[in-house]
Amino acid sequence: DSSEIVMALNRVKLSSTESKNQAIDRAVQWLLGMQSSNGGWAAFDKNNTKMLVAKIPFSDFGETIDPPSVDVTAHILEMLGQLGYRPDHPAVAKGLDYVLADQEDDGPWFGRWGVNYIYGTGAVLPALKALGLNMDVESVRRAVRWVIDHQNDDGGWGESCVSYVDPEWRGKGPSTASQTAWALLSLLAAGEIDHPATINGVEYLIRTQQPDGSWDEPYFTGTGFPGYGIGQRLDEPVPEGQPGYPDHEMPAGFMINYHMYRNCWPLSALGRFRELSNNDDHWPTLGDREAVASEAGEYSPKRAGNRLQRFLKIW
């Protein structure tokens, strides 16, 4: 949360620049001091990684430790990048080593605090971009291919909570607003502004926006505890029938429906798309806000340009 606040403060214009800069500096120094010895950052603690605590019999609440996670680390690295830090800074270098070492072989990153690999990947790629790294390297292109390959036919992205139990469900599930936004953030960071997957994803968000401006999201896309008891990704899934196996219907952890996810993340993705793209030159001028809100019908990528331009002209 602190990193997101710093990024917002850094962008906003306030009457007192001095007080704003002082607040940012205090937060950055605190965050740098919270980096764990392995280079990552956790949500609450520093170096809270003693697995023995999770094995104590009274540990019946769930994850009792708070090891670093890729998604939290990526958010902090993105903040540092926005502030002008680069990979030659010692804290950034350690954080990057931690993140890059945790990439899956086929491209994505595990999501500790959002479901799941779509969230992790949507955090990492914007961080790499913010730090000024080359987004054409193979590790980034693998992640991009994974995201594109997991787009649903309706133009959105979704990932079931079952992905924490069964690796076959990674990147699979009904499309949601928040997960579509995370996928778009990763593609936009990688420079895929004009890719059909990006256009279709933006069109999905515009098409599914409610008349009141919000998005409907009945699925849980926030992660409380994955259910592993150790607060981080397992090296190998627990086999079905073995102690600690969280079955599909009653996982050992719990998931959360953060009601603002469905709104704030799509706005972030759409705003970033608008900032990065030259839509005033690419799309014809059409319509107004009411037309965007009221237009419905079967999904058609060919209508994406019209809806996009109507949205961007009045947003």
Which residues, in sequence order, are CB contacts of 220 under 8 Å at separation 6+? 115, 161, 255, 256, 257
pLDDT of residue 229: 58
Q: Average pLDDT over the chain, rounded to whole?
A: 85
Is the pLDDT at 6 greater than 90? The verdict is: yes
pLDDT of residue 301: 45
Which pTM does this prediction carry?
0.84
Mean pLDDT of 2-13: 95
Mean pLDDT of 32-46: 97
Burial of 18 (0-12, 13-18, 19+ CB in 10 A): exposed
Q: Residue 113: CA atoms inside 13 Å, Cβ hemisphere, count?
A: 19
Instruction: Set out the domains of the chain in order of their start, with CATH numbers.
Output: 105-120+131-314 (1.50.10.20)
pLDDT of residue 139: 97
pLDDT of residue 162: 86
DSSP bridge partners of 41 = 69
Coil/strand/helix, residue 255: strand
Is the pLDDT at 28 greater than 70? The verdict is: yes
Written as six digits, the tokens of 140 are 């980034």
Written as six digits, the tokens of 30 are 């605190």
Mean pLDDT of 118-134: 98
Mean pLDDT of 152-170: 92
pLDDT of residue 283: 39
Burial of 139 (0-12, 13-18, 19+ CB in 10 A): middle
Select the more confidently predicted residue: 97 or 54: 97
Q: pLDDT of 85-115, one tens digit each?
A: 999 999 999 999 999 999 999 999 999 999 9
User: How many H helices and E strands in the chain?
Assistant: 12, 2
Any idea what DSSP says for residue 315?
A: -
Q: pLDDT of 170-206, one tens digit each?
A: 999 999 999 999 999 999 999 999 999 999 999 999 9
The Cα–Cα gap between 108 and 92 comes to 20
The Cα–Cα gap between 6 and 28 comes to 8
pLDDT over 70 percentage in the chain: 77
Whole-Å CA distances, 151 to 24, 145, 185, 188, 201: 37, 10, 14, 15, 8
Cα dihedral 75→80→83→87 (10° resolution): -130
